[in-house]
Amino acid sequence: MEAQDRIVDARWRRRARLQLDPVKGKCVFAAEAIAAGDVIGYCDGPELDRDTVHSIHLGGKRIDPSEPFRFISHSCDPNAEFRDKGNWLHALKEIAAGSEITIDYLHTEPRISAPFLCRCGAASCRGMISTPANEAAAPRRSAAR
């Protein structure tokens, strides 16, 4: 990590923190009120050569993200986004202190390493979170449930 990146990291670290949710496990929460459009933090990490459950595509690279963003949850109606799929996480809407920070995994990921059933509760919830690449890799035997 470059010295300049370390300064950037320290500057924004206080805005988001890791917190243990009894049901979901480690999640990212707002440590203070964050206005819509504001920078929440900077996420970087070592480049990976394959997808993992935590990997994320930022700045044109697949990386193993640094904490706390390593544990950011998905929502189909997220309150944050890595703008232009770069390393800076921005608030999409006002985020109250103490509320969870979420992103839409499908915004950055060309392929979801482990498709999952979303329980975000949003009216626009997509249900199963997967990508066309998942379908190609593991075609479903039947569409029936």
| Residue choice 76, 80, 101, 112 for contact with Zn ion (CB under 5 A) | 76
Applying CB under 5 A, the site for Zn ion has a residue count of 4
To the nearest whole angstrom, how small is the minimum distance from the Cβ of residue 42 to Zn ion?
26
The residue to which tokens 């449930």 are assigned: 145
| Residue choice 33, 39, 48, 118 for contact with Zn ion (CB under 5 A) | 118
Instruction: Please tell me what DSSP assigns to residue 141.
Output: S
The span from the CA of 86 to the CA of 108, in Å, is 9
Cβ-contact 119, 73 below 8 angstroms: no
C-beta closer to Zn ion: residue 39 or 118: 118
Instruction: Please tell me what DSSP assigns to residue 139.
Output: -
Q: Which candidate, 54, 66, 61, 113, places its Cα nearest to that of 86?
A: 61
The residue to which tokens 């249900």 are assigned: 127
The span from the CA of 44 to the CA of 111, in Å, is 19
- 120 forms part of the interface with Zn ion (CB under 5 A): yes
- 39 forms part of the interface with Zn ion (CB under 5 A): no
- 80 forms part of the interface with Zn ion (CB under 5 A): no
- 106 forms part of the interface with Zn ion (CB under 5 A): no
Among the listed ranges 32-40, 43-51, 113-121, 130-138, the one in contact with Zn ion (CB under 5 A) is 113-121
- Interface residues with Zn ion (CB under 5 A) are 76, 118, 120, 125
